Structure 1
Amino acid sequence: MTEERQKAIWAIYVWCRRTYEFVDGPNADCMSSAVLDRREERLHDIFNGHPNDMLDASLTDTISWFPLDIK
């Protein structure tokens, strides 16, 4: 596997893992639907090329190199 693909897979994994923590992590019971709605908005921001932080930027970069569908 190329280094570029490894980085792309890492970016996808990190974003999914962070999302997992919201829905099934130790504090999941405290998460409001508004928090989850904001997470969904961030995903749309990423796919529209507007990341909110460095980890989002990694996924935005991945999508630019390896086109993915949001669904």
Structure 2
Amino acid sequence: MPEHATDEHRIRHRAYEIWEREGRPEGRRAEHWERACRELREEDERARDEAPDERRGLAPASADSGAGI
């Protein structure tokens, strides 16, 4: 599935959740869509900021690597 389709699915699902949480009000589709976009963008940014740097787990190389050189 293309990435934009996945994003649209996530947004649609979140907007639906917001709509239900607010008692299923009529006429606020655009507001719920924008709010869902904002919430998901913020969640994605937080997840990126909190993700460990993959390189942190690697020990720094030393001059004596034990390779017998």
* TM-score computed with the length of structure 2 as normaliser: 0.40
Which of 1 and 2 has greater Rg? Answer: 2
Structure with more of its chain in helix, by fraction: 1
* TM-score computed with the length of structure 1 as normaliser: 0.39
Higher relative contact order (CA 8 A, sep 6+): 1
